[in-house]
Amino acid sequence: KNQVEQSPQSLIILEGKNCTLQCNYTVSPFSNLRWYKQDTGRGPVSLTIMTFSENTKSNGRYTATLDADTKQSSLHITASQLSDSASYICVVQYQAGTALIFGKGTTLSVSS
């Protein structure tokens, strides 16, 4: 069964600290993996997108990694800010298709 599992479910960190969110998937065949940030009450916004041939992609303080062999991805947030408080969703797309498989997200809370 094609699934995307994220961990942890929720995370609380202090402002300025780093954190890493995990995503494991079983989607096959695989086209691309993306990370979305969803602020409360808003739609998801894309942070990064990686194909199977890419193993890292950065967007400012956000760095995503991908290991297509182990089917794992991580999102690393450096020097967290209060505005990073949001839900982070890992999404995997089937190869040669449009269907997306969504993880349930990790809720990150950054406190001062």
Partner 1 sequence: DAGVIQSPRHEVTEMGQEVTLRCKPISGHDYLFWYRQTMMRGLELLIYFNNNVPIDDSGMPEDRFSAKMPNASFSTLKIQPSEPRDSAVYFCASSPSGRSYEQYFGPGTRLTVT
* Side chain identity at residue 36, one-letter code: Y
In angstroms, rounded to a whole number, what is the distance separating the alpha carbons of residues 39 and 45? 9
Query: Given the structure tokens 């969803």, which residue do they identify?
Result: 38
> Which of these ranges, 13-21, 38-46, 53-61, 73-81, lies near partner 1 under the rule CB under 8 A?
38-46
Q: Which CB atom, from 42 or from 70, has the smaller least distance to partner 1?
A: 42
Per-residue contact string for residues 81-100; x = within reach of partner 1 by CB under 8 A? --------x---x----xxx
* 106 makes contact with partner 1 (CB under 8 A): no
First vs last C-alpha separation in the chain: 41
